[in-house]
Structure 1
Amino acid sequence: MTGQIDLFAFLQPGGLNCLLEVPPDGPVALVAMNLLILVAFTHWVSKQPDFVGKAQFRLTNIGLAWWLLTAGLELQSTTASCKTLFAMAAWPGIMLISVSWLAFISSFALRADQNHLRRDLVVIACFVLIGTVAAWTNPLHGLFYTDEVRLVETAGRLSAQFEHGPLFYLAVFMNYCAVLAAFLIVLLVMRRTSKVYRRYFAFFLLITVIPILANAAYTLFDFTVFGFDPTPFVFTFVLLGLGLLIFNKGFFDIVAVGREVLYYRMANPVFVVNRMGIITGLNTAAKGVVHAENKVGQHLSSIPAFQDFQGVFTMASIEAMPERLQIGEQFFDVDVFPIGLPVGDTDELIGATVLLTDVTDLYSRGRALASAVDVMNNTLNQNRRQLEEIQTLREEAERLADRDWLTGLLNRRRLDESFKQLAEERDDNKIVVLCVLDLDHFKSINDRFGHVVGDRVLKGFAQMMESILPEDAICFRVGGEEFVVLHRAATVAEVVQDLNRLREALDKDPLMRRTDVPPVTFSGGVASFPADGETLDALYAKADEHLYTAKEKGRNRIVQEG
């Protein structure tokens, strides 16, 4: 069916009867369902916490919703004039999808702040305006769609075949340039980024290519869904899948990324093995210890130090693992963390993480200490004074084993024991409070002034903790710039008040007196036993969560609840 089209006929009485001549069928209902899902999803996204490129991502959803709306109206209509009208009406959404997607990709891949949002919005508005004006003024110039429109039967329903003008191809060219630019940005960043982030951008690359392929199939091979361009339907599922990944903490989650960075860069060797003892992953430190680039796919027993382990991982076999082993000339403490099934029998494992801690220096000191004890026993009857000196050396070695070598505070080894003791001795009038403290921007001090200055700051902060906090507060340094305080108090507020006194003292007597650097501050997270957890691990995780909240709220504060 071919004919001249009066695009303004819909303004006349009964002009929109083209939408009412036949009842909506399955394809129209399917489009309507996709539209409702997308609208609900877009509203849900707006209520979620911010992520990089959130505004651009929402605009992409809005553009797709508009395209789906006009697609549904075009599918429902039965006349050439109505189909042409809704085809032209779709172009603001089509233009908005491609340019917003480009802005979203570039925002995530090339910049983490939102200072460019205003500029992005101006570019998006201009881009959409060009395509919209070209399409909506078509009745005046006929350079977008000609007046010759054919109605053909496709997949059992009438669909429109348009004769396209030069402005149509210009709009299509603009859209393809935007999508291809997004594709090239992802490809470039994926090649240059570290392997920690590479899988994220590989997924970006895939979801950018899928709509391009769908549109190419429509443009080059006339592939349709219900007689219509399949691109908006494909893009709907792409955005829904991407959104679920974002908010299911499988994508763009800085905590997840941080775990990967820690895994690859930590100095301690880490092996991840499945239930059968096959190594499925190991970090750079582990590769250095076993002197092999890749042990993935081999059994843990292929490492000589683990040659006695031949079975599968069970709770019993983990308990039987040696607490210390030797690899070459190095000695390591062994910690095995079981990975259980998410549901079902908690004793059944799917694997384990094996963490090795280098204790070569401690082992050497222990051997020296053992030798000293032998000498003491042999010369006890000859020289009592020598015996007393060796006894002092032994006590000092034992004290140092539980102390941080730099600050003199208790170390991570004593944290478990101290917590158990406080928990067992707790009465009904007291609670046990665990505080995780972290010096703000400490890395910048090391980078700018060197580790000597950084060590001085750590020792100064430890001294302030011991002098300002109550005498019964137990202070630990658990690693880097992270400290822990265990305190038995009447209320959490009482402990927070003590920590705030420490913050105020640090502000009055700064550890860095230079005027050209920010003052040294700290952030803290607080959790109490048993309200926030009945084990040390649970309590530590809750306090660490509150610490992250303190960091997100601007640092230099204490957070006792999320």
Structure 2
Amino acid sequence: MTLFPSFAILTCLADGRITPGVVLAAVTLGLLWFFVAFVGERATFAGRRFFILANGGLSYWLLLTVLEQWTNAPQCKMTFAMLAYPGIVIAPTAWMFFVYRYAYGVSGRMRLSHRLALSLAPAIITLAALTNGWHGLFYMAGSAPQPDLPGAPIHYIHGPLFFGAAAYIYMTMLACLGLLGLGAFIARPGYRLHFVILLLLTLVPMVGNVGYVLFDWSIFGFDPTPFLFIVVAFAYGALILSNRLFDLVSVARQSIFDEFPRAVLVVNQQGKLLTYNSAAEQLLDLPPDQRGAQMVPWLVAALPTATENCTAPLRLELAHDDRLFEADIRPVLSPLGELRPVIGWTVLLEDVSQRRAEEQRLAKALARRSAQLTAAMQAQQEAETLALRDPLTGLLNRRGLDRLITHLQDQPGYSSGLGVAVVDIDHFKSINDTYGHAAGDQVLVEAAAELRHCFRREDMIFRVGGEEFLVLAPNLPPPAIVTRLQAARSALAESPALAAKMPGRRVQFSAGLAQWQPSDCSLQEAILAADSRLYQAKREGRNRTVGAEV
């Protein structure tokens, strides 16, 4: 068999047959075209051009593979194999650039070095293959069909130029592995698994090609590498699309982004608006269908430059066209940490012109009325000082208790008895220290609510100290008070609001009881007796009531 290619393409195409390999390759090619179009239309991501170009090279490679399997003549099979080399070289080269841009979040135009690599390398290697008949260094003598039957696959004897081309392709794939390995090493912890998955996917076609070259692995008689490359392309495409489609969280985020009342803009390092929401369209009069191409020069000028690598949020006021905007600028951090910390910015923009004008008018009004406001504040402070209720819980406070004691001691209606209960939250300081004072305030509010709920309307409840409460229950015997306190204790321990604020923590309280009879002692003495029993309850282990027998 001659090692020169045959350029009688129509003759080669006319002499063909349908084989399982042809069907598989044709179906795979159709799926690849559909999938690349689907991803390219719906997803905007770093390295998108190289992703499409790499899959274009794969498509061309696979198309020539279909033709190689279709034709029966050995010379035609070798011709289609040689003509496939532009795709064979472009696919891994473009894939290397895609991996770099996608994994490292690099955007921008295609550089001259990229263009040279994507044009010179395929041209040189293809020329070496097509001129094999003169030098015999790509496919060597002895390359022939095995077995010697019509349509049988060619068994190639590879020469030094072939191995040189293979070395270049392996170099691009090793570069992919190196980029992904470096990314996995330096990435933030939450992104490392993503890099490892991409690295393992990139190994798949390399393993397949090594098996084909060294061990004659094949799929229906031809090189498995393009098929494995397509599997990797599908996997990458699925990873890209998974951030945008069929994901409830992503859809919810997009919905929040679109409906957020403030203008939100995402800007890359080149100053282009990658996306913006409806509020931004209305605020800046932006077209809704030109994302990725729009620029707002006066806003871009306020952003940090790429060399500054500013990772701290900024809040600026920007003047433009007699309008004043407040811009909250937040950097978008790369998963690669310090190597490339910032890959763009999210800008929250708000027109504050009217607000600032209102603030200035209000400031003038406040200045004119400062004397009246000062007097009003003093009067309010006096009213709060004299108030009888605790502002946090709404219960009567100690001033209210003093006034009520004077009133009760003169009332004959309570001569038959007054139940006294002093209640103290257990380990309240620990709650404040562990969960903060806001949680402590919530405990006091819930305790007050449960005490109000469990006692009668005529019973009086006071907050007399930091975490201490007092209950005065007219004509209510101690056993009944114990029952109501236990109901409040159980409800407080199971409070959903406290469980949400302090998971795993059950709030408890201790209580001491006394009974007041006007003929026996003063009400103050009865309160002191109840307070003494409260401390007894603390000593006995807390979360209990002492004094039911009085």
Per the shorter chain, which TM-score range?
A: 0.3 to 0.5
Name the larger-Rg structure.
2
Q: With the length of structure 1 as denominator, give the TM-score of the two structures.
A: 0.45
Select the structure with the greater relative contact order (CA < 8 A; seq sep ≥ 6): 2
